[in-house]
Chain A
Amino acid sequence: MPPASPTTPGPFGSKLLRKSSRSMLGMDPQKIIKTFFGANSGITIVVLVLIMVFLLREGAGFLSTYHHELEVYRKAGLEFCDIADTPLKQQQQLTSALRRAKASAASDEAKRALGDAEEAFETAIEPADEIVSELKTHATETKELANEFHTLEVGRLQLLAAAYSTSDPTRKADLLKEAELSKVDAPNYEERIAAVIDRREELAKALTDYTTVLGTAAVALPDAVADVKTAVPAHIAEVHAAVKKLETWSWQEPVSFFTAARSFFFGTGWITNSSWQDFYGVVPLLTGSLLISLVALLIATPISVSAAIYTNQFASDQEKEIIKPVIEFIQAIPSVVLGFIGIAVVGDLIKGVSQWEILSWIPGFPIQERLNIFNAGFLLAFMAVPTMFSLAEDALNNVPRAYSEASDALGATKLQTVFRVIVPAAISGILAAILLGLGRVIGETMVVLLVAGNRIAIPDFGDGLGVIFQPAHTLTGIIAQELGEVSRGSSHWQALFMVGILLFVISLSVNWCARTIAKRFEHPKA
Chain B
Amino acid sequence: MPETASSAAQHAPVVQVRDMDFCYGSKAALHSIHLDVEYHRVTALIGPSGCGKSTLLRCINRMNDRVAGARVSKGEILVKGKNIHDADVDLTQLRRQVGMVFQKSNPFPKTIYENVAYGLRVHGVKDKTTLDEAVERSLTQAALWDELKDRLQAHALGLSGGQQQRLCIARAIATMPDVLLMDEPCSALDPIATLKIEELIAQLARNYSVVIVTHNMQQAVRVSDFTAFLHLGKLVEFAPTEELFTNPREKLTDSYLRGTFS
Residues of A at the B interface (CB closer than 8 Å) are 400, 402-403, 405-413, 416, 420-421, 424-425, 521, 523-524, 526
Write the nearest CB–CB distance from B131 to chain A, whole angstroms.
14
Q: Contacting B92 at CB < 8 Å: which of A411, A521, A524? A: A411
Determine whether the beta carbon of A409 is less than 8 Å from that of B95: yes
| Interface hit among B25-33, B40-48, B116-124, B138-146 | B116-124
CA of A484 to CA of B25, assembled, Å? 66
Determine whether the beta carbon of B66 is less than 8 Å from that of A410: no
CA of A407 to CA of B95, assembled, Å? 10
Determine whether the beta carbon of B122 is less than 8 Å from that of A523: no
Q: Is B104 in the interface zone, CB < 8 Å from A?
A: yes
Hey, which chain A residues are within 8 Å of B66, CB to CB? 405, 408
Q: Is B91 in the interface zone, CB < 8 Å from A?
A: yes
Hey, which chain A residues are within 8 Å of B96, CB to CB? 410-411
Determine whether the beta carbon of B110 is less than 8 Å from that of A409: no
Determine whether the beta carbon of A402 is less than 8 Å from that of B104: yes
Determine whether the beta carbon of A406 is less than 8 Å from that of B122: no
Determine whether the beta carbon of B99 is less than 8 Å from that of A425: no
28 contacts between A and B (CB under 8 A): A400-B106, A402-B104, A402-B106, A405-B66, A406-B106, A406-B108, A406-B171, A407-B108, A408-B66, A408-B95, A409-B95, A410-B96, A410-B99, A410-B119, A410-B122, A411-B94, A411-B95, A411-B96, A412-B122, A413-B92, A413-B122, A420-B118, A420-B122, A421-B108, A424-B109, A424-B110, A521-B109, A523-B109
Determine whether the beta carbon of B110 is less than 8 Å from that of A402: no
Hey, which chain A residues are within 8 Å of B121, CB to CB? 420
A526's nearest neighbour on chain B, judged by CB, is B104
Q: Is B79 in the interface zone, CB < 8 Å from A?
A: no
Determine whether the beta carbon of B122 is less than 8 Å from that of A411: yes
Contacts A403-B108, A425-B109 aside, 18 further interface pairs with beta carbons under 8 A come to: A402-B104, A405-B102, A405-B106, A406-B106, A408-B66, A408-B95, A409-B95, A410-B95, A410-B118, A410-B172, A411-B94, A411-B95, A411-B123, A420-B121, A421-B108, A424-B110, A524-B157, A526-B104
Q: Contacting A410 at CB < 8 Å: which of B109, B110, B171? A: B171
Over the window 98-132 of chain B, the binary record of Cβ atoms lying under 8 Å from chain A Cβ atoms (1 yes, 0 no) is 01101010111110000000110111000000000
Hey, which chain A residues are within 8 Å of B102, CB to CB? 402, 405-406, 409
Determine whether the beta carbon of A403 is less than 8 Å from that of B106: yes
Q: Is B227 in the interface zone, CB < 8 Å from A?
A: no
Determine whether the beta carbon of B99 is less than 8 Å from that of A409: yes
Write the nearest CB–CB distance from B247 to chain A, whole angstroms.
36
Hey, which chain B residues are within 8 Å of A400, CB to CB? 106
Residues of B at the A interface (CB closer than 8 Å) are 61, 63, 66, 91-96, 99-100, 102, 104, 106-110, 118-119, 121-123, 157, 168, 171-172, 175
Hey, which chain B residues are within 8 Å of A416, CB to CB? 122
A406's nearest neighbour on chain B, judged by CB, is B106
Hey, which chain A residues are within 8 Å of B109, CB to CB? 403, 424-425, 521, 523
Hey, which chain B residues are within 8 Å of A402, CB to CB? 102, 104, 106
Write the nearest CB–CB distance from B216 to chain A, whole angstroms.
22
Hey, which chain A residues are within 8 Å of B61, CB to CB? 409
Determine whether the beta carbon of B118 is less than 8 Å from that of A408: no
CA of A403 to CA of B99, assembled, Å? 15
A413's nearest neighbour on chain B, judged by CB, is B92
Hey, which chain A residues are within 8 Å of B106, CB to CB? 400, 402-403, 405-406
Write the nearest CB–CB distance from B151 to chain A, whole angstroms.
19
Write the nearest CB–CB distance from B115 to chain A, whole angstroms.
9
CA of A306 to CA of B22, assembled, Å? 37
Hey, which chain A residues are within 8 Å of B94, CB to CB? 411
CA of A412 to CA of B175, assembled, Å? 12
9 nearest interchain CB pairs? A402-B106, A411-B95, A409-B100, A412-B122, A410-B119, A411-B92, A411-B96, A406-B106, A416-B122
Q: Contacting A425 at CB < 8 Å: which of B63, B108, B119, B172? A: B108
Write the nearest CB–CB distance from A518 to chain B, whole angstroms.
14
CA of A185 to CA of B108, assembled, Å? 79
Hey, which chain B residues are within 8 Å of A407, CB to CB? 108, 118, 122
A400's nearest neighbour on chain B, judged by CB, is B106
CA of A410 to CA of B61, assembled, Å? 10
Hey, which chain B residues are within 8 Å of A526, CB to CB? 104
Write the nearest CB–CB distance from B256 to chain A, whole angstroms.
29
| Interface core residue of A405, A411, A416, A421 (most chain B CB under 10 Å) | A411
CA of A407 to CA of B175, assembled, Å? 13
B92's nearest neighbour on chain A, judged by CB, is A411
Determine whether the beta carbon of B91 is less than 8 Å from that of A411: yes
Hey, which chain B residues are within 8 Å of A412, CB to CB? 92, 118, 122
Determine whether the beta carbon of A406 is less than 8 Å from that of B168: yes
Write the nearest CB–CB distance from A396 to chain B, whole angstroms.
14
B93's nearest neighbour on chain A, judged by CB, is A411
Hey, which chain B residues are within 8 Å of A406, CB to CB? 102, 106-108, 168, 171
Hey, which chain B residues are within 8 Å of A524, CB to CB? 157
Write the nearest CB–CB distance from B123 to chain A, whole angstroms.
6
Write the nearest CB–CB distance from B209 to chain A, whole angstroms.
16
B96's nearest neighbour on chain A, judged by CB, is A411
CA of A409 to CA of B100, assembled, Å? 6
Write the nearest CB–CB distance from B119 to chain A, whole angstroms.
4
| Interface core residue of B66, B107, B109, B123 (most chain A CB under 10 Å) | B109
Hey, which chain B residues are within 8 Å of A523, CB to CB? 109
A425's nearest neighbour on chain B, judged by CB, is B109
Hey, which chain B residues are within 8 Å of A403, CB to CB? 106, 108-109
CA of A22 to CA of B106, assembled, Å? 56
Write the nearest CB–CB distance from B55 to chain A, whole angstroms.
15
B121's nearest neighbour on chain A, judged by CB, is A420
CA of A521 to CA of B157, assembled, Å? 11
Hey, which chain A residues are within 8 Å of B104, CB to CB? 402, 526
Q: Contacting B63 at CB < 8 Å: which of A408, A421, A424, A521? A: A408
